[in-house]
Structure 1
Amino acid sequence: MKRVNKLPLTSDCYHWTRLAEVPWDLQKYWQQRYTIFPYYDEGIYVTQDAWFGVTPEPVANQIARDMGSIISKSKTTVIDAFAGVGANSIALALCTAEDGITPRWDKVIAIELDAATLACAQHNASLYGVADHIIWVLGDSFKYLDALVNAPHKLEDDLRVDTASTAVFASPPWGGPGYRTDEIFDLNTMEPYNLAQLHGAYRTMDHALYLPRTSDLRQIAKLVPDGTKIEVVQYCVEGASKAMVAYIPAAKDDDTYMET
């Protein structure tokens, strides 16, 4: 777990310019590249695995605006727990307060486990002029959050943040049976991280979970005590739903939760 200022692009970072360069299983994503990254031709780099899970820029921008308004203004730090190639981190860093000028977040921390993917994120953020406004962390976000809550003295100074003023955005992988075919997706079977594991890691902070559009709302509702309001928003691109985000408030010490 370490902060990194600048990682070099590697042979695992790609900016394809012709369809013939693109692996067959990624060609449909590349053909949608301008929907995902409107400024793709400016030099956006993506790893092969990242194409499967990258948030389209219009969705990332709307989520950033929604997080800025739904999450309490007392939250001034935001952690992107699965930064990928940077779409959400960039949007969060660009997001402004109600005056349209002041950054909504004093600090944006982007965490990514894969070095090549993080190198792409840093490069892409530089194209948007926000690379220096994001704290980049190479490592496991679960380990970081555990240290943040239980052993902050083990973290570098600028990674020690007050959890009471921090929110988490998490766009985890959606592996597991049924993600693409089930009418209602069982979040307990999501791989490699299920709903209980994600919520367990973030429950002490306000958090937003980016989930499959068919996720079981009953499972999400069980994350909070009866009577607690949560926002669940469907995000669409060109009229088609791409994902939902559940905005979940931090747990209180006396909160009790149902098993999911």
Structure 2
Amino acid sequence: MTDDSWFGVTPEPVANQVAHDMYGTDQKKHILIDVFGGAGGNSIAFALSERWSRVISIERDPSTLACAQNNAKVYGVAPGLITWILGDSFEYLDRLFNRPEELHPDLRVNLDETVLFASPPWGGPGYRTDEVFNLYNMQPYNLEDLHTAYNRLDHALFLPRTSDIRQIARLAPPDRKVEVVQYCMEGASKAMVAYLPGKCSKALQ
């Protein structure tokens, strides 16, 4: 594990609970793209949940990606269940949505069967000190950057525990709701996840 990947890894109990909570999402959607794969904590939890037929994990740092691949072996993830991509997730999604013919056939997916999970970096002024964190100040990618890139599909955002819920609520499509869950360890919140419906998806009946 690199120093940076240790710092950014999701605690295993939290990753497992997030994977458990996403088990109940639309069963027609069986492909999950982890757009900030990091050292693989979330991707591995999703793969081991047996909910997804395929997990795609994207990481732009080769050393961190190598750690993730090794971690998947250590945890016994079946070969081929996770597709590893070394690259920029925003570039990948832009091609997937707009120019899929530019992608290798193995990297194309049916968008109607796909959801996104994003655990972005949490940099920016006030992240550690503000009582309520302004997500439009988050760096290097703020809430608008993330939502613009992801809003076509159902997506889950792993965010600081003090994130401004009002900002998240405004992202819901008309007549739809956003679910926000706080994830705790030993009585203290570690993060929140906002589960956002995509603008092209239909509400579950």
- TM surpasses 0.5: yes
Alignment match of 1:68 (pick from 7, 23, 38)? 23
The match for 1:87 among 19, 26, 41 is 41
The aligned residue for residue 47 of structure 1 is 2
Shift of 1:225: 3.2
Match of 2:111 among 119, 141, 163: 163
Pick the aligned partner of 1:200 from 148, 153, 157: 148
C-alpha distance in 2, partners of 1:107/1:126? 16
Answer with 1 or 2: which has the greater Rg: 1
- 2:40 aligned partner, one-letter code: G
Q: 70, 92, 116: which is aligned to 1:144?
A: 92
Q: Deviations over 1:52-91 (max 9, x none)?
A: 221000000000011111x211111000000110100000
Distance 1:167 1:227 in 2: 20
Do the aligned partners of 2:173 and 2:197 also contact (CA within 8 Å) in 1? no
Aligned to 2:60: 113
Unaligned runs of 5+ in 2: none
Q: CA deviation at 1:226?
A: 4.5
Partner SS state of residue 131, structure 2? coil
Aligned equivalents of 1:225 and 1:165: distance in 2? 19
Deviation at 1:229, TM superposition (A): 1.3
Q: Structure 1 counterpart of 2:150, which letter? A: Y
2:187 is the alignment partner of 1:221: no
Q: Percent identity?
A: 63
Checking the alignment, whether the CA contact within 8 Å between 2:173 and 2:198 is kept in structure 1 is no
Shift of 1:49: 1.1
Alignment partners' CA distance in 1, 2:5 and 2:161: 19
Amino acid at match of 2:11: P
- Please report how far the alpha carbon of residue 238 of structure 1 lies from its aligned counterpart in structure 2 after TM superposition: 1.2
- CA RMSD, Structure 1 to Structure 2 (Å): 1.1
The amino acid of 1:177's aligned partner reads: P
Equivalents in 2 of 1:131, 1:117: separation in Å?
20
Partners of 2:38 and 2:59 within 8 A in 1:
yes
Matched with 1:130 is 77
Give the Cα–Cα distance (whole angstroms) in 2 for the partners of residues 243 and 224 of structure 1: 20
Q: Is 1:104 matched with 2:51?
A: yes
Kindly state the Cα deviation for residue 131 of structure 1 after the two structures are TM-superposed.
5.7
Q: Is 1:234 matched up with 2:182?
A: yes
Question: Which segments of 5 or more consecutive residues in structure 1 lack a partner in the other structure?
Answer: 1-45, 96-102, 254-260
Q: CA deviation at 1:230?
A: 1.5
State the shift of 1:224 in Å. 1.3
Aligned residues: 200
